[in-house]
C-alpha cells in the first residue's frame, strides 16, 4: 500500500494566516503545542493564529519545529 503524502509545513506568514482549526486538521501534532501555549482551540478555532495570539512568533516557531519532520517524509 502506498504511503500517503503529508503536506509540508507552510512558511511563517502562511501559517499565521491559517485558521486554527485548519492547522489542527492538517497538522494534528500541533494540538499539543497550541494547548501548551494556552490557546483555547475550541473557542478560537475560527481565528487565525495571528489573531488568536498577541505575539505569534514563538508559537509559529514551535509549530514549524513540530511539523518539520514532514519536509523529510
Using DSSP, state whether 48 is helix, strand or coil: strand
Mean pLDDT calculated for residue range 13-29:
95
Domain 12-72 fold is SP0561-like (1.10.3910)
Q: In the numeric block, which cell numbers belong to residue 72?
A: 523529510
The pLDDT, as a whole number, for residue 4 is: 62
**Using alpha carbons only, what angle is made at residue 66 by residues 65 and 72, rounded to the nearest 5 degrees?**
80
Whether residue 73 is predicted with pLDDT greater than 90 in this model: the reply is no
pLDDT by residue (tens digit) across 26-65? 999 999 999 999 999 999 999 999 999 989 999 999 999 9
Indicate the pTM of the whole model. 0.85
Please report, for the chain, the start and end positions of each structural domain, with discontinuous segments joined by +: 12-72
CA distance 45 to 4: 26
Q: Is-contact 4 66, C-beta < 8 A?
A: no
Confidence of residue 9 (pLDDT cuts 50, 70, 90): confident
In sequence order, the β-bridge partners of residue 48 are 19
pLDDT at 71 (0 to 100)? 79
Amino acid at each position: 500500500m502506498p504511503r500517503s503524502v503529508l503536506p509540508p509545513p507552510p512558511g511563517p506568514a502562511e501559517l499565521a494566516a491559517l485558521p486554527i482549526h485548519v492547522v489542527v486538521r492538517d497538522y494534528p501534532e500541533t494540538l499539543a503545542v497550541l494547548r501548551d501555549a494556552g490557546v483555547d482551540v475550541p473557542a478560537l478555532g475560527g481565528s487565525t493564529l495571528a489573531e488568536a495570539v498577541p505575539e505569534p512568533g514563538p508559537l509559529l516557531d514551535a509549530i514549524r519545529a513540530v511539523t518539520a519532520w514532514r519536509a523529510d517524509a
